[in-house]
Amino acid sequence: MRMIGDVKIGPVGLGAMPLSIEGRPDEARAVATIHAAVEAGVTLIDTADSYHWHAGEAGHNERLIARALSAYGGAEVLVATKGGRGRPGDGSWTVNGDPRHLRGACEASLRRLGVEAIGLYQLHKPDPAVPFADSVGALRDLLDEGKIRMAGISNVGADQIREAAGVLGGRLASAQNRFSPAVREAADTLAVCADLGVAFLPWSPLGGISLSALDTLDGTPLTTRGTLDGAPPSTRDTLDGAPPSTRDTLDGAPPSTRDTLDGTPLTTRDTLDGAPAHTPRRPFQVFHEIAAERGVSPQRVCLAWHLALGPHVIPIPGATRPATIRDSAAAGALTLTADELARLDLSPGA
């Protein structure tokens, strides 16, 4: 178990955003995914009032989570939501860190989640038009009033984490930044969180291994492309239900021998004239190699790598299918060896 503030949390959370934005699954599958997370031991679900697709449906993700969790009564699940961003419905994102807006957003989230106090409430993103201390001060006031039990921040730099910890009087519980094998600019914030005893929640933690719901190839959201049925590539499920640990290609070839999207072979293979093909390794190939050796998915290896970075790290991968979050949750039981970590290069900023 890991800790956010004084609350024990399972090692891997669920990032629920893909269940509500562009390309989202139908509600039955979305609810089944949340149920699968709880049944797999996930005790942290991350959401935000801005996780929705169309105009006029703010809070879609929060309402979905509330409905899904109602089936579990008193299940010990920490729902972490965020305020301070918006989506007009045209695919863009806005930011509003005004303390009055944050207070109203929090109260709306309370109603949608159907709780007396939000377990973890996070400033979604600093607003350049509002002093950061003022936005964080709104979280401090909500803490003091008992409307939220813990406060966190997201999309922040190292100095902002230190500043927030001061404004909150040492009560900063978490910082959430994009961090993955492919995106390591936030490595310094991971270290600051360790020094301050603040939980670090990497969002989009599978970058370089799986494509995120926010990434695009040609402007088309990846939540609606990449598989024959329109499921996001990050779901890593096979069409016939075979475990992702044994097959994640249509032809059944193991991940270590798969071709890349542009047709470049991943291993040294023969050319038509019999000459050995010299093929450069794809980025982060070692995650796939270790996965093949262990008989698990490369995504599970990636999440285990995150967990090895420190006891304060709790990755929150997205999912739109039950099998995906089950595979992610299983990373908590995968301990990488010293040799494997050396091959992966555990240095966050490498």
Residue ranges per structural domain of the chain = 2-235+295-344
Q: Which residue has the higher pLDDT, 68 or 224?
A: 68
Span 1-26, mean pLDDT?
97
Read off the pLDDT of residues 218-229 as tens digits, 9 standing for 90 and up. 333 333 333 322
Span 193-214, mean pLDDT?
89
| pLDDT at position 45 | 98
From residue 191, how far is each of 5, 124, 162, 348 by CA, in Å? 17, 20, 12, 9
| pLDDT at position 263 | 36
Write the DSSP assignment of 160-205 as a string of letters: HHHHHHHHTTT-EEEEEEE-SSS--TTHHHHHHHHHHT-EEEEEST
How far apart are the C-alpha atoms of 54 and 104, rounded to whole Å? 21
How far apart are the C-alpha atoms of 190 and 344, rounded to whole Å? 18
Catalytic residue from among 14, 51, 199, 211: 51
51 is catalytic: yes
- Of the pLDDT bands very low, low, confident and very high (cuts 50, 70, 90), residue 234 is very low
Q: Look at residue 57 and tell me whether its pLDDT is greater than 50.
A: yes
Q: Are 287 and 302 in contact (CB under 8 A)?
A: yes
pTM of the predicted protein model: 0.82
Averaged pLDDT score across all residues of the chain: 84
The CATH architecture one would assign to domain 2-235+295-344 is Alpha-Beta Barrel (3.20)
126-138: string of b/e by CB count within 10 Å (b at 16+)? Answer: bbeebebeebbbb
- Of the pLDDT bands very low, low, confident and very high (cuts 50, 70, 90), residue 72 is confident
Q: Residue 20 burial (CB < 10 Å; 0-12/13-18/19+)?
A: buried
How far apart are the C-alpha atoms of 18 and 320, rounded to whole Å? 6
| pLDDT at position 348 | 62
| pLDDT at position 75 | 74
Q: Which residue, 128, 162, 122, 124, is CA-closest to 143?
A: 122
Q: Which residue has the higher pLDDT, 264 or 175?
A: 175
With H, G, I as helix, E, B as strand and everything else as coil, classify residue 244: coil
Neighbours of 29 (CB within 10 A): 14
Q: Which two tokens stand for residue 192?
A: 């600051």
Span 167-187, mean pLDDT?
96
User: Which position has the token pair 């301050």?
Assistant: 196
Q: Which two tokens stand for residue 339?
A: 């040799």
